[in-house]
Each structure stands twice: as structure tokens, then as C-alpha cells.
């Protein structure tokens, strides 16, 4: 027994002499060496963007009633029994179950009416808080683009909203657009999680118009202008989450192409440009990078399409990729993993007409 212990001790000593460093898992399941260099890394975050589909079939069912109606998980469900869009009172449970099992740090939602925001605040629990406003009046009317954040991992510094229109400083709609469009901007300091010191970061969360390509292009120009300003002002990483209603390629790709710097941005409100001006010599070629393309290919998983509609399983006629997580070209981040989740469960319930998109990001 003594000889065995001595052998193990010598083996460990030789491991350190040869430069070996033990690895410990972080909360995302990724392995990072515990070293003096990584001791100063501030955080590893799992970020999500999720268009919830607005509550189109409101009812009086409470969150508690929905919780009480969750079936026994040990009982075989009636496979694919339900079809089409289900009420939010059923879908909200599916959404919460998905998110609570992902160890998330930040979530950008779209299409959330005030009932949906409050429901998710209840379902996600006390460690979560949120910021955002209703797009129609800057208070509670219309859809929100709320940012939910985990309080044990992030400290909120400030937040505000602007509108993706010709008058971005007040609730407004771009001419020809189907709806008001808003962006929520939140500044955070990451806590001393995963052996690190605080790091400032900024998230912009939005939803571009489904009807007007012109609005999407102007919206992208406003987003890029504001993101560059935040990168310059804070010196920290900047991210954008959202439903762009714009694919990466094709006839409707203008907003994506502007955001990623592939084509020039159109003119936008001059007061907005002045307020968020950056010296010409600072970040002159700033763009946003699609995190999916900056993640190691082996760590990209799940599906391609992020919009699926509520069609029956097997009908891919409307499938497209329009929901994105972007990171600023000023850096300060690394994309470690990227996944498009599923919105469909065995019983046939589709949690939303969009799939959740997740990214593991080191900052």
C-alpha cells in the first residue's frame, strides 16, 4: 500500500515537472486548464437568441396551472398528437424546460408580449432579471425585445432602447414597415466567475421587420453604428442577438450583409450618427461577425434553419436561417461552441416557430 502511494506521488510530481497542468470542467462542459494565464479570464458565457412567437391565442390559464398540467415524465406520450400552433400557456412550459437545461447566462428574446415576459421571469426563477420596453410606446405596449440575464454571473451596469426607424430616439415605425422595431441595449460586468476578474460587455437585442427590406437595411445600419460606439466607449466585447428576417445570402440578405460589412450601409438619422460618433481613427473597419462562422466546425451542432414555422414534421418548405448571434470585430471574445436547438417535442408541440440558437463564448 505504501509503495503504491509513493508511486502515485512520484507520478504526479513528474507530471508537474514536465509542465502538465490539470484540467477542470467549467459549467458549460468545456475543459480549460487551470493556469495563471487563464486565472485572469473573466467568464465563459452561454448566450441564446430566441424568437418566442407572440401570444396569438391569449387565455386565462395561469403559470401555476400550466405547471400543474405537466405530464408524468415516465409515461409514454402520444407521439406527434398535437399539430400546428399551440397556445402560449402550453408553449411557455416547453420554452422554460429548454432554457433551464442549458445553463445560460444571457438570453435575447423577440416577439415577447408583456404577459410572456412576466411568465418567463416567473419560470426561469429568482436568479434571472430582465430589461426592455414594449416597442409600441416605450413602456408596456406591443412586443418586447427583452434581455434576460443571470444575476449570479452578470452585474447590470445600464440599459436603454432605441427604435430602428428614421426617428430612433422615440417609439416610431419606419415608413412601409409592418411594425415598430426596437433594440434593447444592455451593459454588463461579468462577475468573478471561472477564475477571472470583471470584464465589461454589451449586448444589443433586436427584431428587424418582416415586410420591409428597406427597414431591415436601415435597422442594420443603426445597429452597426451603435455597436461600434459601444466597442469604442467601453473597450469591451459587443454582441448582437436577434431575428433579422434576413438570410445570410439571397434577395433578402441586405441586413445581414450590412451588419457583417459585406455591403455599404445606407444613410441613417444624423442626430443618431452625431450622438454615437467615433473618431475616424478608432475602429475604422468595425463589423459584426456571425459567431457560427467563427466557431470550430466540430463544435457547431444542431440544425441549420432557425425559422421553421408551425408546419408538420417533415415539411421544410419555409425553413430558413434568420436568427443570429454576432460578435464585434473589436474582439475580446472567442466562440467556443454554437448550436441550433429543436423546438419540437415528441408530443407534437412546437415551442415556437423559431428554434433557439445558443453560443458558448469566452470573454
- Average of pLDDT values for 11-17? 40
- pLDDT higher than 90, residue 159: yes
pTM of the full structure: 0.88
β strands within 194-322, DSSP E: 200-207, 238-243, 288-290, 300-302
Lowest pLDDT segment from 38-47, 90-99, 182-191: 38-47
Does position 2 have pLDDT exceeding 80, yes or no? no
- Chain center to CA of 347: 27
- Joined together, the cell numbers standing for residue 95 give 420554452
Read off the pLDDT of residues 318-361 as tens digits, 9 standing for 90 and up: 999 999 999 999 999 999 999 999 999 999 999 999 999 999 99
Q: In angstroms, what is the C-alpha Rg of the chain?
A: 22
Confidence at 192, pLDDT banded by 50, 70, 90: low
CATH superfamily of 44-362: Endonuclease/exonuclease/phosphatase (3.60.10.10)
When the pLDDT of each residue in the chain is averaged and rounded to a whole number, the result is 91
Assess whether pLDDT exceeds 60 at residue 287.
Answer: yes
For residue 339, the surrounding DSSP H or E stretch is: strand 334-340
In the chain, % helix, strand, coil (3-state, to 5) comes to 25, 25, 50
Q: Where are the domains of the chain?
A: 1-35, 44-362
> How would you classify the pairing of strands 147-150 and 182-190?
unpaired
24-41 in b/e form (b: 16+ CB < 10 A) is eebebeeebeeeeeeeeb
Where do we find the cell 500500500? Answer: 1
pLDDT of residue 27: 36
Is residue 233 within a helix (H) or strand (E), and if so which, with residue range? helix 213-234
**Predicted confidence (pLDDT) per residue in 114-155, tens digit:** 999 999 999 999 999 999 999 999 999 999 999 999 999 999
pLDDT band for 196, please (50, 70, 90 cuts): low
What is residue 186's DSSP assignment? E
Amino acid at each position: 500500500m505504501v509503495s503504491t502511494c509513493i508511486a502515485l506521488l512520484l507520478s504526479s510530481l513528474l507530471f508537474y515537472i514536465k509542465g502538465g497542468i490539470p484540467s477542470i470542467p467549467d459549467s458549460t462542459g468545456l475543459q480549460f486548464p487551470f493556469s495563471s494565464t487563464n486565472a485572469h479570464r473573466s467568464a465563459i458565457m452561454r448566450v441564446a437568441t430566441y424568437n418566442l412567437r407572440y401570444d396569438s391565442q391569449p387565455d386565462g390559464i395561469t403559470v401555476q396551472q400550466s405547471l400543474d398540467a405537466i405530464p408524468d415524465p415516465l409515461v409514454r406520450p402520444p407521439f406527434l398528437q398535437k399539430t400546428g400552433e399551440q397556445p402560449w400557456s402550453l408553449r411557455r412550459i416547453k420554452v422554460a424546460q429548454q432554457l433551464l437545461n442549458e445553463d445560460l447566462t444571457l438570453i435575447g428574446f423577440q416577439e415577447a408580449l408583456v404577459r410572456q415576459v412576466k411568465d418567463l421571469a416567473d419560470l426561469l426563477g429568482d436568479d434571472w432579471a430582465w430589461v426592455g420596453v414594449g416597442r409600441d410606446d416605450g413602456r408596456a405596449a406591443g412586443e418586447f425585445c427583452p434581455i434576460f440575464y443571470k444575476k449570479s454571473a452578470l452585474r447590470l451596469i445600464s440599459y436603454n432602447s432605441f427604435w430602428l426607424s428614421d426617428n430612433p430616439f422615440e417609439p416610431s415605425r419606419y415608413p412601409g414597415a409592418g411594425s415598430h422595431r426596437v433594440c434593447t441595449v444592455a451593459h454588463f460586468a461579468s462577475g468573478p466567475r471561472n477564475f477571472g476578474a470583471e470584464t465589461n460587455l454589451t449586448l444589443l437585442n433586436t427584431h428587424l421587420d418582416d415586410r420591409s427590406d428597406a427597414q431591415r437595411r436601415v435597422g442594420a445600419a443603426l445597429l452597426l453604428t451603435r455597436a461600434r460606439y459601444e466597442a469604442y466607449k467601453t473597450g469591451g466585447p459587443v454582441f448582437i442577438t436577434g431575428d433579422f428576417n434576413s438570410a445570410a445570402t439571397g434577395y433578402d440578405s441586405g441586413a445581414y450583409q450590412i451588419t457583417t460589412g459585406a455591403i455599404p450601409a445606407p444613410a441613417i438619422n444624423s442626430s443618431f450618427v452625431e450622438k454615437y460618433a467615433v473618431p475616424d481613427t478608432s475602429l475604422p473597419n468595425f463589423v459584426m461577425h456571425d459567431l457560427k462562422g467563427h466557431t470550430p466546425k466540430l463544435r457547431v451542432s444542431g440544425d441549420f434553419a432557425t425559422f421553421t414555422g408551425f408546419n408538420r414534421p417533415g415539411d421544410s418548405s419555409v425553413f430558413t436561417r434568420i436568427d443570429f448571434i454576432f460578435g464585434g470585430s473589436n474582439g475580446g471574445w472567442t466562440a467556443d461552441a454554437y448550436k441550433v436547438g429543436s423546438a419540437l417535442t415528441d408530443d407534437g408541440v412546437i415551442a415556437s416557430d423559431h428554434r433557439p440558437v445558443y453560443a458558448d463564448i469566452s470573454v
